Chains A and B, each alone.
Chain A
Amino acid sequence: MVKNRYVNLLNEDQMIEIRWHGRGGQGVVTVSDIMARSIIMGGKYAQHFPEFGPERSGAPVKAFTRISDEPIEIHSGVYNPDIVVIIDEGMSKNFNLYIQGLKENGLLFLNLGDMRDQIKQNLPKNVRVYVVNAKKISYEEAGKPIFNIPMLGGLVKVLRMPDLNTIEEVLSRRFPSELFEVNIRILRRAYEEVESIG
């Protein structure tokens, strides 16, 4: 039972629904895609689908992942996610705009460097909040902003699936070797550094 063991959320269906937020160009769709492929290659059921609006660089973008022990039959949108991951830092600061429908006792992942203390004052009740300093990690490891993979690293740590080796295999098929190495370093570091703040 994926849910009870790993997330312990209240849901009559043993299914985890994740909603990813970010901006066009930040790899929002890519990270949900990688998550789903890794879960499936790890032997569970998953489904990924993007929300297609106008595809413009910088515009807010959403993607969705479903995870289950059973085959997934639902082919409609996610309205009450168990988990919200916000990839963009600016959007993370304004997280209140992006958590509509998030289930009680759900998980919220934010990309934050500074402002943690300010955010702490205003955290939503009955939601567990985790932060990843994606900017620091990606600049130190890659010298440029890569925000989606660090957020994946943080999520995987808390969710305890899929295992990092499976993600590495999926990433290796997707990226040329140099980019692959960088992404793995970022993934593993974020996995270690993700913090719970409430």
Chain B
Amino acid sequence: MSKLEYVRKMALMGDEAVAYAVKQADVDVIAAYPITPQTIIVERLSKYVADGELNASFIQAESEHSALSICIGSALAGARTFTSTASQGLALMHEVLYIASSMRAPIVMAIANRALNSPLNIHCDHSDIMGARDTGWIHLFANNVQQAYDLTLMAFKISEDPDLLIPVSVNLDGFILTHSIEPLEVLLDEEVHQFIPHEPYPHEIDFGNPLAYGVMALPDTYMEFKRQFQEAMLKVPEVFHKTTREFYTISGRTYKSLTSYFTEDAEAVVIALGSTVETLKYVARKFREKNIKVGVLGLTMYRPFPEKEIVKVLENVRCIAVLDRAYSYGGVGGPLYTDILASLYKNGMKPIVADFVYGLGGRDFKLTDSEEIFRKMMKAIECNGFERDIYWWGVKE
């Protein structure tokens, strides 16, 4: 290994990689409350600040509700702002999530995805983020530790873009990524500073020139605020692509709103979020070696939902399995499933689709699980349909 490669190469846990990215982003304010499996992120950041490696205010709040409230104030004052949470912590932030986005506070938040109580469980699923799905944040999902690092850096640039000023969540699977050590290639500090220079917030809080923030809007104006917010959301894809292109020039790593593997001529495609995408990719490659035409589609950007890109990938696909690591109880199916169904219907497509609810509370998604799902899809193509629309995969019945 050359000396430069050695400097760039690291072995880090997902949580450590996020903290390292935040340090390199040279944030000004971190306000957080510790919760497993996110705790290592704020522990590392608190150490960076204490050791003088990062010049930032580290504020340990008395709750997540307060932590995010502090972040709003700091972001509107023009400070680069970071927080991190999981599970119950994200649930406790819930009302503040809407305030952060609709006040256009550029905040980056890492979410170590974890199940919600009750029963008490600290392991991975996506119930936390799905509960926060419609709060007006941009939601990104990492498939591995490298992506957790890269997306955290890009999140600052996207969030602070003057056309957006929208908070971004970077989701990484609790324990599966947060506590796994994997190799990654980091950028040099100078490169990060060049990529995300500190730009002034366009209308930052200034006591010499007071403005009104977070005003009241009655029925005659409220709807216009919301419509304007949706217009801003529509600009996200363009900013996302601009950011990923620029990121490619410094890192050589390509990002799109989707990660698709073997989908070009696939008859059957599995759609998922997070670390499972990579496990599926590994198994799909085995099937491809036997000339079985399966593909994998992962969503790097979940909100805004990349409907057009997804529909394009699925154009000639006969069979789709959607993997949901969360559920809408009493609803039509899991959240990703309903998004996909709606996109297909809107675009006049009618492939065979089923929802696979899996991995709740950290239940392992084994290689044999993805293998079986691929086989089920092959059978569904033969029989022109699945045996049911929603499978609770791996549940003991």
Binding site for B on A (CB under 8 A): 33, 36-37, 40-41, 43, 45-50, 52, 71-77, 79
Question: B144: which A residues are within 8 A, CB to CB?
Answer: 73, 75
Whose C-beta in chain A lies nearest to the C-beta of B143?
A75
Q: Which residues of B contact A76 (CB under 8 A)?
A: 279, 364-367, 369
A-B contact sample (14 more), CB < 8 A, given A36-B11, A40-B9, A73-B281: A36-B181, A40-B182, A45-B183, A46-B11, A47-B180, A47-B181, A48-B181, A49-B179, A50-B175, A75-B144, A75-B173, A75-B177, A75-B275, A79-B366
Question: A90 to B279, alpha carbons, bound, how many Å?
Answer: 36
Q: Which residues of B contact A43 (CB under 8 A)?
A: 1
**Residue B204 CB within 8 A of the other chain:** no
**B123 located at the interface, meaning its Cβ lies under 8 Å from any Cβ of chain A in the complex:** yes
Distance from A168 Cβ to chain B, minimum over Cβ atoms (Å): 15
24 CB contacts below 8 A, A to B, read A36-B181, A37-B11, A37-B181, A40-B9, A40-B10, A40-B182, A41-B9, A45-B183, A48-B181, A49-B180, A52-B122, A52-B123, A73-B144, A73-B281, A74-B367, A75-B173, A75-B176, A75-B180, A75-B275, A75-B279, A76-B279, A76-B364, A76-B365, A76-B367
Check A77/B122 contact, CB under 8 A, given A43-B1, A48-B181.
no
Q: Within 8 Å of chain A (Cβ to Cβ): is B248?
A: no
Cβ of B28 to closest chain A Cβ, rounded Å: 28
**B interface residues with partner A (beta carbon < 8 Å):** 1, 9-11, 122-123, 144, 173, 175-177, 179-183, 275-276, 278-279, 281-282, 364-367, 369
CB distance from A13 to the nearest CB of B (A): 9
A73–B261 Cα distance when bound, in Å, is: 13
Which of B10, B282, B364 is in CB contact (< 8 Å) with A73? B282
> A74 to B282, Cβ gap below 8 A?
yes
Q: Is the CB of A77 within 8 A of B179?
A: no
CB closest chain-B residue, reference A49: B180
Give the Cβ gap from A14 to chain B, nearest Cβ, in Å: 13
Which partner residue on chain A sits nearest B280 by CB separation? A73
Residue of A nearest to B278 (CB): A73
Q: Are A41 and B11 in contact (CB under 8 A)?
A: yes
A43–B366 alpha-carbon span in the complex (Å): 28
Q: How far is the CB of B171 from chain A (nearest CB, A)?
A: 14
Given contacts A75-B176, A75-B177, A77-B364, contact A47 B182 (CB under 8 A): yes
Instruction: Give Cα A47 to B144, complex, Å.
Output: 11
Query: Within the assembled complex, what's the spacing in Å between the Cα atoms of A37 and B10?
Result: 8
Chain B residues lying within 8 Å of A74, measured Cβ to Cβ, are 278-279, 282, 367
Contacts of B364 in A (CB 8 A): 76-77
Closest to A48 in B: B181
Q: Are B183 and A49 in contact, CB atoms less than 8 angstroms apart? A: no
A37 to B182, CA, bound (A): 8
For B122, the chain A residues whose CB sits under 8 A away are 52
From A52, A71, A73, give the contact of B175 (CB < 8 A).
A52
Are the C-beta atoms of B175 and A49 separated by less than 8 Å? Answer: yes
Residue of B177, B183, B276 touching A46 (CB-CB under 8 A): B183
Q: Which residues of B lie under 8 Å from residue A52 when comparing CB positions?
A: 122-123, 175, 179
Q: Which residues of A contact B365 (CB under 8 A)?
A: 76
Give the docked Cα–Cα distance between A43 and B367 (Å): 26
Shortest beta-carbon contacts, A-B, top 9: A40-B11, A75-B275, A48-B181, A37-B11, A73-B278, A73-B282, A49-B180, A40-B183, A36-B181
Identify which of B123, B173, B182, B369 contacts A72 (C-beta below 8 A).
B182
In the complex, chain B residues whose CB is within 8 Å of the CB of A33: 181
Name the contact of B181 in the complex, choosing from A46, A71, A73, A75 (C-beta under 8 A): A46
Q: In the docked arrangement, what's the CA distance between A37 and B179, Å?
A: 13
Shortest B282–chain A CB gap in Å is 4
Q: How far is the CA of A169 from the CA of B182 in the complex (A)?
A: 18
In the complex, which residues of chain A have a beta carbon less than 8 angstroms from the beta carbon of B175? 49-50, 52
Chain A residues with CB under 8 Å of B11's CB are: 36-37, 40-41, 46
Chain A contacts for B275, CB-based, 8 A = 75
Give complex CA distance A41, B276 in Å: 26
* Shortest distance between the CB of B337 and any CB in chain A (Å): 21
Task: Determine whether the beta carbon of B9 is less than 8 Å from that of A73.
Answer: no
- Residues in B with CB closer than 8 Å to A40 are 9-11, 181-183
Name the one of B123, B183, B278 contacting A75, with C-beta atoms under 8 angstroms: B278
CB distance from B7 to the nearest CB of A (A): 12
